[in-house]
Chain A
């Protein structure tokens, strides 16, 4: 038991604790320090990856060049990157909300597929005369509802039975993908084409796009949701409760926080966001349901959220960055014959370094 410290003047104590003189300056300092840490970790990760690529007998600088060109040199590459970043962004937003409360859901992949399936059902099931805004809204609503319902099962199990949510959401991911596959194979199968996919959605039920590009409404929706999620995470009472639960669920409970209710709400929110991502993908990009709809978005989004350290706003650059990596890796595979698997390793190593940087920082200033 440590003896009582002698009282110090508030300013001195604040500075000693590494705080700014005012809350505003304090927040800025903290943000700047954290960004610097992440940048350092990313730099270290890039160096390690470069070394690894070199050891395998390839040229890391060439790889970097090809990646950059694939993403930024052509308009189509850039659009691809943005389009792939959108589901990552949406799903990662949901994960970020949950991870702050130490609720480790990885169910985005399954919820994505269910959202897509629901949107597809609506798009193919509604009479084509339905006005577009009504149809799209219904499709989105159905997607959100279906995905949130899918998240409710592991959510309830975690909140009331303490069931490990990583395993339960993961198992349900497999099942969710199977559900969509079944729909494609049976109910919604396109009878004219021998491929495993549905018929194309009616024109009316495509997302509107910007001019002639492929940039669809989903991108705008995703970006618009960021401030909303940021408010949920940091600005409102719900976020304060989630944060407390992440720091100490028992003490939160003792203080009167509704822990099970908050946890279930978190699952529902993340499910809704992932479902929205699925709907956006089918309504904005593929315009039909097909196998292979997701390029592991639900799993890459985990890494995106972790890289963004669960800050909703930071998810935007993180999602774009990882999307660029994936798109760039395809180019590298085509041009330099380096298998695109290295990008998964790279992403994992990056987040490991970010974790390490955080741990070391904590050690120096407890």
Chain B
């Protein structure tokens, strides 16, 4: 392990293929010791792949890595950790049923030592580290009881525990409130400046990284576009590097909203006094919802902002009709309950609840029909009219590869989400519940999804968008509510919804919104 400060990392000609897809194509990437380096690119540009290779999770098909001039053969994360490279992943890698100390102790070398001794040692050092960096944590607390921000602290502490000199942080701000982001950045600055650690910030959020990084490397479609020093890096230059010719077309172009019709019609969705509680028989619910109430009219987009883990998942489940509330009512068009056939539901966890990977595109697209149709009627996939409609949907949503007989697992994330959207919006819904609809999508797909949601609203549906992406909500929604610890903190009309106001509410600061509706 390097004795003092970080050493330079040099990655040359890194190529990594997954079947036909080239995730990294001859990428060169350098890290100077003690720098903060931003690794930018849209979703799918190969950033995480490159860092996974540096962390030993993946082996490159071609290319070399050198640390302090010495060539490295990282056969696994254990080797990387030994070399002082640690990764803080985007989706946390912690065992929920074990304690913080046990999680840090997992895989610690040397492997043969006794459990009791290792845990004592880990506990002691964790407390020491926590104190030094102001990352309060209870080493014996179970991970499953920690908030997202606290879990990230554990991930960081684990990296510090291994005395890693090079920290690779993958989309670290996605689960933090604006306040927590500031705290994180301050800590990063300290680690780089005072301790000489190298920090790589992998992100697609340009704005965050511009003030923080010393240098920025941009990847696009698996290739490196260029490395920019902080001085010469303007927003425009970086955007162009990230997205090429599509920069002006895709980025920031929001379809102008149709002016709001002044008198509001009767609400389509009326939620009143909604309470959800964790209960023995309902394993899906882990947080409480307390007295949530709001209304959405036809043609309106209602945004719900909040950091993941504050009850959005439970709210999403309740709005989609998948769990029964402990108290309160959800009415759609005056009737109790969710009319599933006229409701479009885009689940936040697309992997588990969204597109069914083992079924074909046709079967996925027509699942709504199969669910609603009478049991003995011919399967939609056997009816030419239904298949034709499915083919039209593939066309309209520009889903690639456009073959109905392919299995859905062949689709990329963006196309899978479009498939889901096609199926759900194809119901001609009166109500749309979209949870984290653009998470992990490349810019083009994300813009497409937002445009479709807007279009559904324009067609008269009530649209609820639950998202932790404030920019997206501010762009899309007519009104935005903030959810914090299971309760709605307030409601802001689009005009007065600023990142500052919303961010404070997301962090639990009680702010009186300027024009709060009754």
Which residues of chain A have a CB within 8 Å of any CB of chain B?
1-5, 7-8, 10, 13-14, 17, 19, 23, 26, 234-241, 243-244, 247-248, 250-258, 265, 366
Q: How far is the CA of A265 from the CA of B375 in the complex (A)?
A: 10
Question: Which one, A13, A237, A252, A253, contacts B377 given CB within 8 A?
Answer: A237
Among A8, A234, A243, A255, point to the contact of B371 (Cβ < 8 A): A255
> Once the chains are docked, how many angstroms separate the CA of A13 from the CA of B20?
11
Which A residues touch B368, using CB under 8 A?
255-256
B248 contacts the other chain (CB 8 A): no
B516 interfacial by beta-carbon distance below 8 Å:
no
Decide yes or no: A244 and B375 within 8 Å by CB, A3-B44, A26-B405 being known contacts: no
- Residue B355 at the chain A interface, CB threshold 8 Å: yes
Kindly state the separation between the CA atoms of A248 and B222 in the bound complex, as whole angstroms.
32
Q: Which of A17, A247, A251 contacts B352 (CB 8 A)?
A: A251
B341 contacts across to A, CB distance below 8 A: 256
Q: Are B405 and A19 in contact (CB under 8 A)?
A: yes
Which chain B residues border A3 with CB–CB below 8 Å? 21-23, 44-46, 221-222, 412, 442
Is B375 in contact with A2, judged by CB distance below 8 angstroms? no
Number of interface residues of B (CB under 8 A): 63
Q: Does B89 contact A (CB under 8 A)?
A: no
Q: Are B412 and A5 in contact (CB under 8 A)?
A: yes
Cβ–Cβ contact A5 & B354, under 8 A: no
Contact with A254, one of B353, B375, B382 (Cβ below 8 angstroms): B353
Could you tell me if A236 and B375 are in contact, using CB atoms closer than 8 angstroms?
yes
The answer to whether residues A5 and B375 also contact, given A240-B370, A244-B370, A256-B341 and a CB cut-off of 8 A, is no
Query: Which residue of the partner chain, among B46, B347, B379, B410, contacts A236 with CB atoms under 8 Å?
Result: B379
Q: Would you list which residues of chain B between 432 and 463 have a CB under 8 Å from chain A?
A: 440, 442, 444-445
B74 to chain A, nearest CB (A): 21
Contact A240-B403, Cβ < 8 Å, known A251-B353, A257-B371 = no
Name the B residues within 8 Å of A26 (CB-CB).
405
Can you report 19 A-B residue pairs in the complex whose CB atoms are below 8 A from each other? Answer: A1-B44, A1-B413, A3-B222, A4-B400, A17-B403, A17-B405, A235-B378, A236-B375, A241-B371, A243-B363, A247-B356, A247-B357, A248-B352, A248-B356, A251-B353, A251-B355, A252-B367, A256-B368, A257-B367
B511 interfacial contact with A, CB 8 Å:
no
Q: How far is the CA of A13 from the CA of B451 in the complex (A)?
A: 28
- Does B382 contact A244, Cβ atoms closer than 8 Å? no
Cα-based distance from A1 to B18 in the complex (angstroms): 11
Give which listed residue, B322, B354, B380, B409, contacts A240 with CB less than 8 A.
Answer: B380
Q: Give chain A residues whose Cβ lies under 8 Å from the Cβ of B380.
A: 237, 240
Contact of A239 with B379 at beta-carbon distance under 8 Å, contacts A1-B440, A248-B356, A251-B354 already known: yes
Q: Given known contacts A4-B412, A236-B376, A251-B356, what 6 new A-B pairs fall within 8 Å (CB)?
A: A1-B44, A3-B222, A4-B442, A237-B376, A256-B367, A256-B368
Contact of B320 among A1, A5, A254 (CB under 8 A): A254
Q: How far is the CB of B284 from chain A (nearest CB, A)?
A: 9
Distance in angstroms between the alpha carbons of A149 and B481 in the assembled complex? 50
Q: Separation in Å of the B265 CB from the closest CB of chain A? A: 26
Cα separation A258 to B23 with both chains bound (whole Å): 39
Say yes or no: is B2 at the interface (Cβ < 8 Å to chain A).
no
From residue B153, how far is it (CB to closest CB) to chain A in Å? Answer: 25
Are A14 and B405 in contact, CB atoms less than 8 angstroms apart?
Answer: yes
Judge whether A235 and B353 touch: CB under 8 Å: no
* A7→B367 CA distance, assembly (Å): 25
Give the docked Cα–Cα distance between A248 and B409 (Å): 13
User: Smallest CB–CB gap between A261 and chain B, Å?
Assistant: 9
A113 to B366, alpha carbons, bound, how many Å?
40
Residues of chain B from 390 to 416 with CB closer than 8 A to chain A in the complex: 400-403, 405-407, 409-410, 412-415
Q: Which residues on A sit within 8 Å (CB–CB) of B401?
A: 5, 7-8, 10, 13, 17
* Beta-carbon contact of A10 and B379 below 8 Å: no
Q: Determine whether B359 belongs to the interface, using a CB cutoff of 8 Å to chain A.
A: yes
Cβ–Cβ contact B363 & A254, under 8 A:
no
CB nearest neighbor in A for B321: A256
Residues of B within 8 A of A5 (CB): 20-21, 400-401, 412
Residues of B that sit less than 8 Å from A by CB: 18-23, 43-46, 48, 221-222, 320, 322, 340-341, 345, 347, 352-359, 363, 366-382, 400-403, 405-407, 409-410, 412-415, 423, 440, 442, 444-445
For the complex, what is the distance from the CA of A253 to the CA of B341, rounded to whole Å? 12
Contacts of A240 in B (CB 8 A): 363, 366-367, 370, 379-381
Complex Cα spacing A237 to B363, Å? 11
A237 and B43 within 8 A (CB): no
* Contact partner, B406, options A4, A17, A237, Cβ 8 Å: A17
Nearest CB of chain B from residue A209's CB, rounded to whole Å: 33
Q: Which 9 A-B pairs have the closest CB atoms?
A: A240-B370, A238-B375, A13-B401, A256-B371, A237-B373, A3-B44, A257-B371, A247-B358, A256-B340
Distance A246 CA – B383 CA, assembled complex (angstroms): 22
Cβ A244 vs Cβ B367 within 8 A:
yes
Instruction: Report B361 CB to chain A, min CB distance, Å.
Output: 11
Residues of A within 8 A of B345 (CB): 254
CA–CA, A71 to B306, complex, Å?
Answer: 71
What distance in Å separates the Cβ of A7 from its nearest Cβ neighbour in chain B? 5
CA A244 – CA B379 in complex, angstroms? 12
Give A237 to B367 CA distance when docked, in angstroms: 9
Would A253 and B322 count as touching, CB distance under 8 A? yes
Complex: A14 Cα to B22 Cα, angstroms: 20
- Residue from the list B340, B366, B403, B415 in contact with A10, Cβ < 8 A: B403
Tell me which residues across on chain A come within 8 A of B19, comparing CB atoms: 366
Instruction: Collect the chain B residues with CB atoms within 8 Å of residue A254's CB.
Output: 320, 322, 345, 347, 353-354
The CA of A241 and the CA of B48, in the complex, are separated in Å by 36
Q: A236-B379, A251-B354 given as contacts; is B370 within 8 A of A13 (CB)?
A: no
**Complex Cα spacing A172 to B299, Å:** 54
Complex CA distance for A186 and B287, rounded to whole angstroms: 57
Please give, as numbers and ranges, the residues of chain B lying within 8 Å of A4 by CB-CB distance: 44, 400, 412, 414-415, 442, 444-445
Residue from A19, A235, A240, A244 whose CB has the most chain B CB atoms within 10 Å = A240
- The reply to whether A10 and B20 contact each other, CB–CB distance below 8 Å, is no
Q: In whole angstroms, what is the CA distance A254 to B46 when docked? A: 31
- Of chain B, the residue at the smallest CB distance from A257 is B371
Contact status B377-A243, CB under 8 Å: no
Inter-chain CA distance A258–B374, complex, in Å, is 12
Complex Cα spacing A4 to B363, Å = 22
- Complex Cα distance A256/B423, Å? 12
Q: How far is the CB of A244 from chain B (nearest CB, A)?
A: 6
CA distance A235 to B375 in the complex (A): 10
Contacts of B322 in A (CB 8 A): 253-254
**What B residues does A265 contact at CB under 8 A?**
375
Q: Which residues of A contact B46 (CB under 8 A)?
A: 3
Contact of A241 among B370, B413, B440 (CB under 8 A): B370
Q: Once the chains bind, are A244 and B359 in contact (CB under 8 Å)?
A: yes
Q: Which of A238, A239, A251, A252 has most chain B Cβ within 10 Å? A: A251
A255 to B363: give the CA distance in the assembly, Å.
12
